[in-house]
């Protein structure tokens, strides 16, 4: 089933490429910003990177707490990993680059997986105290999709605060990929990949000129 899903993604990409060549348009892969917050599921970030790199350009963002679970050595070499240390690294004066702005402009879409209960609460309340939450606060919801895949314990998920926070971020325009695991609340990775693929249609068309 999963092999078939992966094959379908590649087939769609090839079909889009053929149609584009016939119509004279240029194609590039979609640019996806993959972010992780402080949940144990962040240990799987490298797997999401590898899967997305099959059909997209990928850059990764991780919070300080997420880095506790992430092994940089497992991240694909073509994927740049940004942390809070990069937020103001290139800024010295007005007009200099700001990391969260540069990343937002580069990306076609962003997906936060895992989205911890803590970061969910921050987003719902409009807080922006690290690179990831600054990205979310400054995101262009009218033009670029933003997906989140919540990941937390069953009791955290059933807490009344969680329902309120999910409702708040949905109203912002954030697409929530609901968890489907009974033991640890997190969406199936293939549901996440398929949702991204359907939304972006695997490739972004660039019109000549």
pLDDT tens-digit series, residues 78-96: 999 999 998 888 787 788 8
Task: Supply φ then ψ for residue 35, to 5 degrees.
Answer: -120, 150
Instruction: Judge whether 156 lies within some domain.
Output: yes
Size of the chain, expressed as the number of residues it contains: 209
- Exposure b/e, 69-97, CB count within 10 A at least 16 = b: bbeeeebeeebebbbbebbeeeeeeeeee
Name the packing angle between helices 189-200 and 45-52 (round to 10°).
30
% the chain with pLDDT above 90: 64
pTM: 0.83
CA distance 63 to 49: 16
Instruction: Judge whether 76 lies within some domain.
Output: yes
Q: Is the dihedral of CA 191, 195, 196, 197 positive or negative?
A: positive
Long-range contacts of 45-48 (CB under 8 A, 24+ apart): 45/69, 45/70, 45/75, 46/70, 46/71, 46/74, 46/75, 46/76, 47/189, 48/113, 48/189, 48/192
Q: Which two tokens stand for residue 190?
A: 């293939």
Domain interval for residue 92:
25-206
C-alpha triplet 50, 42, 63: angle, nearest 5°:
110
Instruction: Judge whether 20 lies within some domain.
Output: no
Per-residue pLDDT band for 105 (boundaries 50, 70, 90) equals very high
Instruction: Judge whether 16 lies within some domain.
Output: no
CATH code: domain of residue 133: 3.40.50.1950
CA distance 207 to 26: 6
What's the domain count of the chain? 1
pLDDT tens, 136-182? 999 999 999 999 999 998 899 999 999 999 999 999 999 999 887 66
Q: Which two tokens stand for residue 42?
A: 């962040």
**Matching residue, tokens 């079909």:** 15
- Exposure b/e, 156-190, CB count within 10 A at least 16 = b: bbeeeebeebbebbeeeebbbbebeeeeebbbebe
Instruction: Judge whether 9 lies within some domain.
Output: no
Answer whether 99's CB lies under 8 Å from 72's CB: no
Instruction: Judge whether 5 lies within some domain.
Output: no
Instruction: Judge whether 6 lies within some domain.
Output: no
Instruction: Judge whether 3 lies within some domain.
Output: no
């Amino acid at each position: 089933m999963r092999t078939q899903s992966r094959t379908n993604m590649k087939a769609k990409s090839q079909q889009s490429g053929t149609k584009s060549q016939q119509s004279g348009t240029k194609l590039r892969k979609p640019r996806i910003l993959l972010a992780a917050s402080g949940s144990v599921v962040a240990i799987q970030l490298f797997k999401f990177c590898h899967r997305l790199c099959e059909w997209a350009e990928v850059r990764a963002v991780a919070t300080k707490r997420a880095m506790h679970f992430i092994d940089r050595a497992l991240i694909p070499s073509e994927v740049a990993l940004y942390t809070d240390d990069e937020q103001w690294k290139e800024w010295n004066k007005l007009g200099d680059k700001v990391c969260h702005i540069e990343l937002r402009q580069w990306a076609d879409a962003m997906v936060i997986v895992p989205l911890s209960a803590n970061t969910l609460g921050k987003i719902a309340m409009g807080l922006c105290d690290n690179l990831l939450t600054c990205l979310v606060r400054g995101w262009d919801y009218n033009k670029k999709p933003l997906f989140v895949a919540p990941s937390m314990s069953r009791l955290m998920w059933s807490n009344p605060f969680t329902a309120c926070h999910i409702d708040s971020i949905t109203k912002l325009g954030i697409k929530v990929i609901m968890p489907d695991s009974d033991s640890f609340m997190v969406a199936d990775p293939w549901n996440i990949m398929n949702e991204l693929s359907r939304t972006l249609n695997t490739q972004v068309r660039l019109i000549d000129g």
